[in-house]
Structure 1
Amino acid sequence: MVNCCGLLTANKALVPLKSIEVELEVRDHVATVVSTLTYENKEDKPVEAVFVFPLPGDAAVCHFSAKIGQTQIVAEVKEKQQAREEYDDALSSGQQAFLLEESEQSPDIFTLSVGSLPPGESASIRLEYVTELAVQADDGLRFCLPAVLNPRYQPQGASVQVTSVPASLVPYSLSFSARVSSPRPVSKVESNCSLDPLQHLNTEQTQATVKLAAGHKFDRDVELLIYYKDAHQPTAVVEAGQTTAKTGTLMGDPVVMLSLYPEFPQSVMSSVASCGEFVLLMDRSGSMGSRMNNGRGQQTRISSARDTLLLLLKSLPMGCYFNIYSFGSSFEHIFPKSVEYSQSSMEEALKKVELMEANLGGTEILKPLKHIYSQPCIPSQPRQLFVFTDGEVFNTKEVINLVKKNSGSHRCFSFGIGEGASSALINGLAKEGGGHAQFITETDRMQPKVMQSLRFALQPAVVDITVTWDLPKGVSATALSPPITALFQGQRSLVYAQLTGQSSEAAQGCVMVKYSLAGHPSQNPLPFNLKPAEDSGLTVHRLGARTLIRSLEMEEREHRGQQDEGVKKKVVELSVQSGVSSSYTAFIVVNKGNSKPIQGPLVRRNIPTPGNFCHHQVKMYLCITLLYDQTPAKLMTFPSASAVLSSALDDEDIERPIPKQPCRDSLLQVVSLQNASGSWLFNPALADVLGKTSEEVDKSKPALVGYLWATILALIWLHAFKMDAKEEWELLAMKAVSWLRAQNGKNHDSNADAVVFNSISTCVHSSVLSAD
């Protein structure tokens, strides 16, 4: 693994980055970020400083300037090779120059070259970008300021080895402030870092400011979670074009941004799919052996992943198919091909999951993905791919392109584990695979986020998605966004479009999202005002341009073997016109006003980023750790109403040997004892977790024995003691309830079903279970 964090100078002094100041402005669900980096050359010779740093993968870099002394120079966007040549020419002639360029392998890595900084001189670099804020499971909007950039694994080890600098020695400081505004009240802002109290700026509480507390060391990603009241409201923003741009161009015409939250019929959403092929792809590279939070957490990434696979396997529906792949420098799979989910296949998989370690070397995800896609899909079993990785790959764009090529055959759900997971990789996999992305950092538990994605995967597939526009005569809309490929209940979809033409009619338009769900056609309309919003800047235009640029770049990669230069030319033209970064352009600043050439050979210095690793994808998420009473739960007598259940048992009730369980919290222990069918068998292991001996529970039970009794007890225990983790066990509890309902037919008692659920409800709500 290559560490790209930075270099020390010849005399072990640190490189000349002095400070970083970040100002964040959030408007509803869009963020504008302005970063100012101040350099100071304390050496006795001119230096060229090189700073490799992360940005969110979907960010649109839209401004770059340099201030030397009292002179402010704004960068131009030019074709990348041309910009590089101008930079080299400037250095050769003794001029100061600055070059900002995006990595060709991953859109979330940028390189800033500061050339010919004379001895004793300072320079300030101003970088501005805009980005969309992702919606989290709890409706919070997530902003991440990447602090460090994880080293990208190189299969051939071709990159230059760079010395890392410990976080305690990083010389530069960080100041961070945020201003939040929305049509809806700002209810709270949380972070993984200490914040000063939230300050509301008006009585409606629709505007607020917040700052990092004094003394923050930039040794971790900074993550903010922003919460609004009534967050799931569809919105539309129309932004006026740039007055200096030509009408008919993207920057000259108005652009609309639609935020859509489709609402599905409750009758459809109440049912959960009982089929599917679930392919779980787990990263087992060496970095997965790291702690979740770069040494600050207790659990390793791989151990958290093992616990998550346990929950996933227990929650899969009977009748589906599944397989588990793991990868590093090589890859493995548990079964030669996906197998039907059963008690025996589940047990075999769990035995191998328990043995998984972070021991497969590097991070090469492309090979296992190709192997998965080479396997034929199973008829009537929609393929759902779950990818778990800490995201330290070198060929992000190639991986995402492969997922897009196969998007018609599956949905892809991705999970970035630990600080440093590539936002470009994780978001790209989900976006192009028609799924959903999640990030697990700081004290996050992986399990609830993964279970949310499983619920999405079990939702009925939405097909035949179309977006149609109803606009006044003379006005037309040109889509800037690619077609919507996935819709999930409660999740946002963003649509950008360029509005062309004018109308004398009422300035009102409407967009309609139509789709088919479970065989029923549905539609969600969103009317909006065509009048441009006041004081909106060019944020929407830049995000729209970025969206179109990314689509064109993807198209160009698909045709790369055919030498299609036409698409690349479009990208360059659009990037230059909009001033938004792309993989084929760069920002270039040359200080031509410097009359005195800088003398002496340049010394190259790579700026160290904080931490022993370099990482991107910051997170300010104040996570609530699941806490529960450590006193063993004690079970009281179960209501006699349950005695009406038949005690007739079949061969399924024969007690099996209990495999030795690893040390886990009580929830995972109970989950580990559940059968694939959804039932539990009462045995000493389950009794021990419930805090009672077999003899004590046996005295309190009615004639009912075996699976029925144990399943009821386990469900009562979950509701009584683990409601704070309900999102983790809800699906497997639903499976247990379905199993109990199925026993109704075996018992030939039409009242048994109601009695079971009434008994469970009575137990939970009347506190029949208690802790001694």
Structure 2
Amino acid sequence: KMNCCGLLTAQKEPVPLKSVEVELEVRDHVATVVSTLNYENKEDKPLEAVFVFPLPGDAAVCHFSATIGQTQIVAEVKEKQEAREEYDDALSSGQQAFLLEESEQSPDIFSLSVGSLPPGESASIRLEYVTELAVQADDGLRFCLPAVLNPRYQPQGASVQVTSVPASLVPYSLSFSARVSSPRPVSKVESNCSLDPLQYLNPEQTQATVKLAAGHKFDRDVELLIYYKDAHQPTAVVEAGQASAKPGTLMGDPVVMMSLYPEFPQAVMSSVASCGEFVFLLDRSGSMGQENRIGSARNTLLLLLKSLPMGCYFNIYSFGSSYQHIFPKSVEYSQKTMEEALKTVEEMGADLGGTEILNPLEHIYSQPCIPNQPRQLFVFTDGEVGNTKEVISLVKKNSGSHRCFSFGIGEGASSALINGLAKEGGGHAQFITGTDRMQPKVMQSLRFALQPAVVDISVTWDLPKGVSVTVLSPPITALFQGQRSLIYAQLTGESSKAAEGCVTVKYSLAGHPSQNQLHFSLKPAEDTGLTVHRLAARTLICSLEMEEKERRGEQDEGVKKKVVEVSVQSGVSSVFTAFIAVNKGDGEAVQGPLVRRNVPTSSECRGDRALVGSDWRINLTYMFLMAGTAPKQTPRDPLLQLVSLQKASGCWVLDPALAASLGKTSEEVENLKLASEVWATILALIWLHGFKVDAQDEWQLLAMKAVSWLRAQNATCVTECVEAGNALLGCNVQKDVLGL
């Protein structure tokens, strides 16, 4: 039985959501989102309801209010237990109340309890959050508005209770508008949904608005990609503290947000590592059968395996309710092991049930590392995982021995999981939705994985006398060429208006010490509201929550107390706090003793109302999606056809299959004067450059490998081969373009 995600009564009946209005304000790379959800109780009795919804994983929820009839109630952040008791007490004394809390399993799921909505009454709920926008492979900034909660697979058997919505059941309308402003011109905004044209608000084109075209049914995630001219400039934004807060506190002091883009020396970047242990972990749960995600993943593994350098080690794991690996432990990359792996990959279907990622990860980490072969883990999943925090914790615990690159496949992949894996694993995260080809994004991550690891990263601050700094972000553990690193810091003390500070990032790359510097003015920016403070508070809360999780055995109440304190002071939610709003009617306090109700553990229920929290008890069942394996012999795209014929060493062999993939007969490609493997390899390279230059980021690494192989042959006939190859294929690709 499929049921709506959204507002449900205690009897699990959906409450009609009439409409959703979303206003997005993007300043440079920070988004503030205001969502208004309008409901109506059409029943003849008062109802109590629970609303469960997804948010971006790193969002800081900073405002929550409800309007019923003419009354507006604004929620406050309180310690979770206290908030739940206040909610129960309000209901038992006949008042309306609202409770908003973060799931304990996954920071991108929130549940909202709406208590006592009278018959015929409408409620309008306003929710505001801020979030950083991630930089994509093509420098676009990605904003995603999750539409529905995918079913998340809960490990350990029985209590699988999550929710999903088929598109046809989403009856409400969505209006969505965005305003973008940046110091740099906005070059374009793209989306997976149809947009009205971008409207510029000023001649410099640094401010623009954009709206979803009318008639959008909110049946899928809305993704926006925002592009600026010269996106890679380091910037610093200083935001003034809140006038009403005490100086010396997080909200009372100015906070600075730094975005750094390290530039590495060209000499280091041009050399690609020829070692590493590459472990690929592929999701084969039933839901990977949708939109042929599994087929796309198989093609991607083909490109990855062909692009690996000779001399490295590799293994491929796949998982669902159970897991499998191709080799008992990572093996050296050779023609034999590559062929064996590809044969197994070809037979992989979306046929392993649920999404249990913890066991294969534990198995991978239990294998000893190979000396001088840095471990690089690539995780492909549609992210329908219930125990997100546990998984991320495990990756963090092993972050010293590997880098983790993650790929969220399909709509609704949990951003908390995908971003968390990469962040704690010192790697890089990519999201691949319906229409995107997976390959370019994955190959970009492979290029990052082949970049030498940056070590000994340190950040030093040079500030005027009388100003001290408290860094709120965790230490930077990974840097990649052209990737952004964000740092939040609190500035305490007085400085003159014209003062400036400087931040220096030092690191060592392939044995060379390097540094990047950024000078910035301490004068606060105009009217940024408290966005930066809230993001900084969220960053601090996340690192404290991580710390609390690691120390859990030691009864460390201190860290939890600090989280609650930061959360209450900043008005940003955390796992230990909740937003509570009570409509006190005529403003008088409730008389008489309050009824205390302790919140039971996840195995019990809370009165007749399900407790959303440790196991999101929304009693709906997980639907196993149709698991289909693709037919074995689907006609391959010509590029993949050619790639599949390349040898592990980088060369191609002259045979009928190569001729066919180049669109020629065996007789046409035969050339008796020329050394056959050199000739075949040059033909393949000319074809790639001549016909597939638009997909160059997908085949660049395997072409480099082919060129290295050719150079090692010291062949004398290269010029002749290139001329003959161009003539045969009808191309005009010069020798130097090929890299020869």
Task: Compute the TM-score of the two structures, normalised by the length of structure 2.
Answer: 0.91
* Aligned residue number for residue 635 of structure 2: 663
Structure 1 CA distance for aligned equivalents of residues 611 and 39 of structure 2? 12
Deviations 1:432-463, CA, capped at 9 Å, x for gaps: 00000000102001111100000000011111
1:56–1:146 Cα contact (<8 Å) kept: yes
Q: Cα distance, 1:155 vs. partner?
A: 2.6
Partner of 1:513: 505
Are residue 196 (structure 1) and residue 196 (structure 2) matched?
A: yes
2:669 to 686, 697, 715: 697
How far is 1:766 from its partner? 2.7
Q: Shift of the alpha carbon at 1:171? A: 2.7
CA distance 1:506–1:198, change in 2 (3 Å): closer
Are 1:387 and 2:370 matched, yes or no?
no
Question: CA 1:470–1:323 in structure 2 vs 1: closer, same or farther (change >3 Å)?
Answer: same
Q: Output one character per residue of 1:475-530: Cα deviation in whole Å (capped at 9) or x when no partner.
A: 11110000111111111000100001113484111100110111110000000000
* Separation (CA, whole Å) in 1 of partners of 2:610 and 2:332: 58
* 1:719 maps onto 2:676 in alignment: no
Written as runs of structure 1 = structure 2, the 5 A alignment for 1:689-768 is 689-698=661-670, 701=671, 703-744=673-714, 747=715, 749=716, 766=732
Q: Confirm or deny: 8 A CA contact 2:16 2:40 kept in the other structure.
A: yes
Q: CA deviation at 1:50?
A: 1.2
Q: Does 1:265 align with 2:265?
A: yes
- Larger displacement relative to structure 2 (282-291 or 240-249): 282-291
Question: Are the structure 2 counterparts of residues 14 and 364 from structure 1 closer, same or farther at C-alpha, using a change threshold of 3 Å?
Answer: closer
Q: Deviations over 1:23-68 (max 9, x none)?
A: 0000000000000111110110111121111000000000011111
Q: Does structure 2 retain, via aligned residues, the 8 Å contact 1:5–1:613?
A: no
> Does residue 466 of structure 1 match 2:458?
yes
Separation (CA, whole Å) in 2 of partners of 1:192 and 1:588: 35
- Say if 2:317 is the partner of 1:317: no
Q: Is the 8 A contact 1:4 1:161 kept in 2?
A: no
Q: Counterpart of 1:679 in 2: which secondary structure?
A: coil
Does the Cα contact within 8 Å between 1:280 and 1:385 map onto a contact in 2? yes
- Three-state SS of the structure 1 residue aligned to 2:89 is helix
Give, in angstroms, the shift of residue 12 of structure 1: 11
Deviation at 1:754, TM superposition (A): 6.9
Task: Report deviation, 1:98.
Answer: 0.5
Task: Tell me how far apart the structure 1 counterparts of residues 451 and 721 of structure 2 sit (CA, whole Å).
Answer: 27
CA separation in 2, counterparts of 1:338 and 1:588? 52
Question: Aligned-pair distance for 1:167?
Answer: 2.3
CA contact (8 A) 2:148 2:164 kept: no
Q: Which whole-Å CA distance do the structure 2 matches of 1:83 and 1:9 have between them?
A: 20
Q: 2:603 — aligned with what? A: none
2:333 to 336, 341, 347: 341
Q: 2:297 aligns with which of 276, 281, 305?
A: 305
Alignment partner, residue 239 of structure 2: 239
Residue 251 (str. 1) matches residue 251 (str. 2) = yes
How far, CA to CA, are the matches of 1:720 and 1:88 in structure 2?
70
Whether the 8 Å contact between 1:254 and 1:499 is mirrored in structure 2 is yes
How many angstroms does 1:157 deviate by?
4.2
Q: What residue is the counterpart of 1:40 in the other structure? A: 40
Query: What is the rounded CA distance, in whole Å, between the counterparts of 2:121 and 2:481 in structure 1?
Result: 55
Distance 2:12 2:545 in 1: 42
Q: 1:164 to 1:498 in 2, by over 3 A?
A: closer
CA positional deviation for 1:166 = 3.6
**What's the Cα RMSD here?**
2.7
Equivalent of 2:581, from 576, 589, 592?
Answer: 589
Give unmatched runs, 5+ long, in structure 2.
Answer: 591-606, 624-631, 736-740
Q: 1:162 to 1:399 in 2, by over 3 A?
A: closer
Maintained 8 Å contact 1:2/1:152: no
Distance (whole Å) between structure 2 residues aligned to residue 765 and residue 179 of structure 1: 46
Of 350, 354, 358, the residue aligned with 1:358 is 350
- Separation in 2 of the partners of 1:208 and 1:118? 42
Change (3 A) 1:224 1:232: same
Distance in 1 between the 2:278 and 2:20 partners? Answer: 44
Q: Distance in 2 between matches of 1:603 and 1:405?
A: 37
- Could you say if the C-alpha distance between residues 432 and 544 of structure 1 is closer, same or farther in structure 2, counting changes exceeding 3 Å? same
Q: Distance in 2 between matches of 1:409 and 1:575?
A: 33
Q: Which moved more, 1:358-367 or 1:550-559?
A: 358-367
The structure, 1 or 2, with the larger RCO (C-alpha pairs under 8 Å, 6+ apart) is 1
Distance 2:225 2:407 in 1: 18
Relative to structure 1, is the Cα distance of residues 468 and 768 closer, same or farther in structure 2, using a 3 angstrom cutoff? closer
**TM-aligned CA deviation for residue 602 of structure 1:** 9.4
CA distance change for structure 1 residues 160 and 715 in 2, over 3 Å: closer, same or farther?
Answer: closer
SS of equivalent residue, structure 2 residue 483:
coil
Alignment of 1:603-622 (within 5 A): none
CA distance in 2 between counterparts of 1:662 and 1:714 reads 22
1:603 CA displacement: 9.2
Q: Deviations over 1:257-304 (max 9, x none)?
A: 00100100111111100000000001111111112xxxxxxxx11111
Distance in structure 2 (CA, Å) of the matches to 1:487 and 1:311: 25
8 A contact 2:162–2:622 mirrored in 1: no
Following the alignment from structure 1 to structure 2, what is the Cα–Cα distance between the partners of residues 685 and 366?
41
What code does the residue aligned with 1:562 have? E
Deviation at 1:704, TM superposition (A): 1.0
Partner of 1:672: 644
Over 3 Å counting, the alpha-carbon distance change for 1:161 and 1:556 in structure 2 is closer
Shift of 1:223: 0.3
CA contact (8 A) 2:278 2:378 kept: yes
Q: Deviations over 1:303-345 (max 9, x none)?
A: 1111111000000000000000111111111111110000000
- Taking a change above 3 Å as real, the CA distance of residues 12 and 503 of structure 1, as seen in their structure-2 partners, is closer
SS at match of 1:407: coil
Contact 2:405–2:425 (CA<8 Å) still a contact in 1? yes
- Please name the residue that 1:626 is paired with: none
Contact 2:151 / 2:163 at 8 angstroms: preserved in 1? no
CA distance in 2 between partners of 1:192 and 1:161 (Å):
30
Q: Which moved more, 1:567-576 or 1:498-507?
A: 498-507
Instruction: Tell me the CA shift for residue 718 of structure 1.
Output: 0.6
| Same amino acid, percent of matched pairs | 83
Contact 1:46 1:603 in 2 (8 A): no
User: Counterpart of 1:116 in 2: which secondary structure?
Assistant: strand
Q: What residue identity is the alignment partner of 2:176?
A: F
Q: 1:687 to 1:485 in 2, by over 3 A?
A: same
**Pick aligned residue for 2:414 from 418, 422, 426:** 422
Is the 2:153–2:622 Cα contact (8 Å) retained in structure 1?
no
Q: 1:684 aligns with which of 641, 652, 656?
A: 656
Pair 1:433–1:8, CA change in 2 (3 A): closer
Q: Is contact 2:406-2:419 (8 Å) kept?
A: yes
Match of 2:501, SS?
Answer: strand
* Pair 2,582 (structure 1): closer, same or farther in 2 beyond 3 Å: farther
Q: Which runs of 5+ in 1 are unaligned?
A: 292-299, 615-659
Q: Secondary structure at the match of 2:400?
A: helix
CA distance in 1, matches of 2:164, 2:267: 56
